[in-house]
Amino acid sequence: MSPSVGEIVLNRELIAQHFLMRVRLPVSWATPLPGQFVMVRVRDGRDLLLRRPLSVYTFDRNENSLIIELIYRIAGKGTFALSRRKAGEYIEILGPLGHGFDIFPEMRKIVLLAGGIGVAPLSFLASHYRELPTGNQQEIISYLGAKSTDQLVGADKMKELSTEMRISTDDGSSGHHGFITELLADDMESFTGGNSVVYACGPSPMMRRLAEVLNGQPIPCQVSVEERMACGIGACLGCAIHVKDRGDKTSVSHGGTKDNEPQYKHVCKDGPVFNIRDIIWS
């Protein structure tokens, strides 16, 4: 897969250190699935070589144009360089990449748990559910968490897409004072196996706690894993995560694994979406 050249239409700071970028791409660019991502590269005076992975936030295609939106947080030199780009400038985008979320049209309750910029792939997923023939029959219950009010990003759009939205902040400045997983744990009795599915994206401690909340619950849960990536296509093997052996002997580069032994998979190639119960969080 070769990268495409995209024209920046908008690059706006939403809240401190968090940006929304809108990019126009060639109409031949493939339609992304919810949960897929792109690798973005910016060239400046230092000629930054590595691409940065960003989840697709929104996507719109018509006969003459194709627009995607990306949300990102400044976390290093690459994303800082990205934040300095202006409308009318160009960036390289490789994608769409990875395996996205499974869709369950028969489920009545779609539960979304987002921490920080984890709101981006879950918003795209929510919009996809809303467009299904069953979209008006499903409840989308969203849980958004952040350290403080000034770090809540994407809340307005998620509220528009949701039947119900609940917020928590670590410092209590908005919504529940505490972690977003505490709110979900309090509501678990209203979600049952067979009518509910949980999706999540956020920092590892949040995901680890979510796995504990769901332990023993017959509710499917898929998570989009946030991990540093260098290539995005499985070539560099730098984004490995520890998973339980499910009998797949092809995902380890050193000859496979023995039965019941843990193994490694790569977020860019095998994910970024995984069954939460397959990941070893310790």
Q: State the pLDDT at residue 253.
A: 30
Q: Does residue 48 belong to any structural domain of this protein? A: yes
**C-alpha of 244 from chain center:** 22
3-class DSSP assignment, residue 134:
coil
DSSP code for 38: E
Same domain for 80 and 151, yes or no, is: no
Q: Give the domain CATH number at 216.
A: 3.40.50.80
Q: Which of 44, 65, 97 is the last residue of a domain?
A: 97
Same domain for 131 and 205, yes or no, is: yes
Q: State the pLDDT at residue 27.
A: 92
Q: Which of 44, 70, 97 is the last residue of a domain?
A: 97
Which one-letter amino acid corresponds to residue 182?
E
| Total domains in the fold of the chain | 2
Q: Check pLDDT > 80 for residue 255.
A: no
Q: State the pLDDT at residue 233.
A: 46
Same domain for 201 and 69, yes or no, is: no
Same domain for 147 and 46, yes or no, is: no
Q: Does residue 195 belong to any structural domain of this protein? A: yes
- CA distances 93 to 3, 30, 153, 224, 281, Å, are 5, 12, 23, 20, 31
Q: Does residue 104 belong to any structural domain of this protein? A: no
- pLDDT top residue among 245 and 127: 127
Same domain for 115 and 239, yes or no, is: yes
Same domain for 41 and 162, yes or no, is: no
Same domain for 79 and 117, yes or no, is: no
Range of 233's domain? 109-278
Q: Does residue 77 belong to any structural domain of this protein? A: yes
Q: Does residue 102 belong to any structural domain of this protein? A: no
Same domain for 187 and 254, yes or no, is: yes
Q: Which of 77, 97, 117 is the last residue of a domain?
A: 97
pTM of the model: 0.89
Q: Does residue 103 belong to any structural domain of this protein? A: no
How does pLDDT run across 188-234, given as a tens digit for each residue? 999 988 899 999 999 999 999 999 999 989 999 999 987 554 444 44
Same domain for 165 and 189, yes or no, is: yes
Q: State the pLDDT at residue 270.
A: 80
Residues in Cβ contact with 38 at an 8 Å cutoff, skipping those fewer than 6 apart: 32, 53, 54, 56, 68, 70, 93, 94, 95, 96, 97
Q: Check pLDDT > 60 for residue 248.
A: no
Same domain for 63 and 124, yes or no, is: no
Q: Give the domain CATH number at 79.
A: 2.40.30.10
Give the H/E segment covering residue 221.
Answer: strand 221-225
Q: State the pLDDT at residue 251.
A: 36
* Portion of the chain with pLDDT greater than 70, in percent: 85
Same domain for 174 and 254, yes or no, is: yes
Q: Check pLDDT > 90 for residue 42.
A: no
Q: Does residue 119 belong to any structural domain of this protein? A: yes
Stretch 63-77: mean pLDDT: 90
How does pLDDT run across 258-279, given as a tens digit for each residue? 445 668 787 767 879 999 999 8
- pLDDT top residue among 252 and 148: 148
Same domain for 81 and 191, yes or no, is: no
Q: Does residue 201 belong to any structural domain of this protein? A: yes
Cα–Cα distance between 231 and 129 in angstroms, integer?
30
